[in-house]
Structure 1
Amino acid sequence: MRDIRSFSNEISTLTNLRHRNIVKLYGFCAHNRHSFLIYEYLQGGSLAQILNNDEKALQLGWLERINVVKAVAKALSYMHHDCLPPIIHRDISSNNILFDSENEAHVSDFGTARFLSPDSSNWTAFAGTMGYIAPEFAYTAEVNCKCDVYSFGVVTLEVLMGKHPGDVVTYTSSSSLTATAGMLLMDLLDPRLSTPKRHEAQQLVLVAKIGVSCMNSNPQCRPTMQQVSMMLSKERDFPNFSPEITLWQLFDLEFQNP
């Protein structure tokens, strides 16, 4: 029954989505013996597969990784703010971000997605991938946009580090950062890539600051995906962003929720 619900849910969700960074559903077959979904073919594999392969990870340079973060932010901003009712993915992870032949990222796997209804309860059963789930799920099962925002923050750091952030997630989600307060952002970046150039490094600082803010333990203090997408797409100078910034200093970026 769970598989049937997931199957039906994915169909109903994807038939309402039209975005270049969301996987396209071409059709489906629902039968007692065999049910399947027909998607566009994304031959580039998943973000997780690429980051776990040294050769492929090297081909995903700093600017390409920044573009991955931008693409996922655009997709989530569309789902949260341009769809009526809003759609919550609930399972944003590196396994569910797929690449096409042009290395453009697409959000996939909508089996656990939910429409956010303003007229009814949005409490739900547990869903998501361990290591990406917002900490408030430990004491509440209410689904909202800020759950996706948190998962996006984890994926953002994973893209920069080349691996799941692990303990960094714990530290950034807690009030105590004594263990990592003095750690430089540059020391956390994927060591397989060459040292980023100055302009790249400044953009990476912005992306890291946004990622950390998305992982705030207080959901109300996290930015919206619309705010995130706008900040990432806006052309700007980076006069105050030094690549030698510490992890603690990443916390000084604040957002005012609308």
Structure 2
Amino acid sequence: MKREEPHLVLPFFVEPKHLCHMEWTDEAIVLGTKRHGETSVLLEVMTRSHGRVMGLVKGGRSRRQQPVLQPGNSLTVVWRARLENHLGQMTTELLTSRAARLMALPLGTYGMQFISELTRLLPERDAHPYLFQALKVIVDEFEEGDVAGELMVRYELAMLSELGYGLDLEQCAATGRTDDLIYVSPKSGRAVCAEAGKPYHDRMLPLPAFLRGKASSNRVSFEELSQGFELTSFFLDRHVYRPLERNAPDLRKSFIAAVRKDLTLED
């Protein structure tokens, strides 16, 4: 007589894969929101460990939640979804409120909008903890033009690096020297010293003093900041915006104009 194989009995706590739930909790900074239906919003945040993420916040348009879900605010977010690649739902708790202060000045308004646009260059759900930390620092510094401008230039440089197009500003591409670096080669994205770059002066990009640790004074001038934005603009256009068939956002010009105005008023 043929022996029957026993039936496999799964323990009651094993859940079929199609019913599994994903959940994580993370620190986040609000980048923006979009209306979704009558009462909800799609919330876009930059998180410490999960990168740039979208999630549905039910009741996000309520009087209680609207002030919380404003660009620049820091939150604790809990993200839940049936599967990892689903949109997911978010619940939030306010950690730091910055939105009102940011919206009080053009520098803060344009700065937050521009840095949100920059951060959207990152692939969704791709962790960039260094950029998260940099973003967390910058959103608290949109009050003084020279500080905000310098940090934004550095954020653009960090963005290039995270996207795989980092510049080498530590030593001369031609001689290996680490001093007297005043140019950047538009071909290689590497620093060039004054002696090696002199014959090609008209073809070189200027390397501002604050990026080589030698600012002309305690405060960075708008001229130096303009050189920094010229440098980052050149490589962002080449490596990011042109391949995407896009232009740099107009918010960049608005932010730089706000920096100029702020420094002019101080003078």
| TM-score for the superposition, normalised by structure 2 | 0.27
Bigger Rg, which one: 2
Please state which structure has a larger fraction of its residues in strand: 2
Does 1 or 2 have the higher relative contact order (CA < 8 Å, sep 6+)? 1
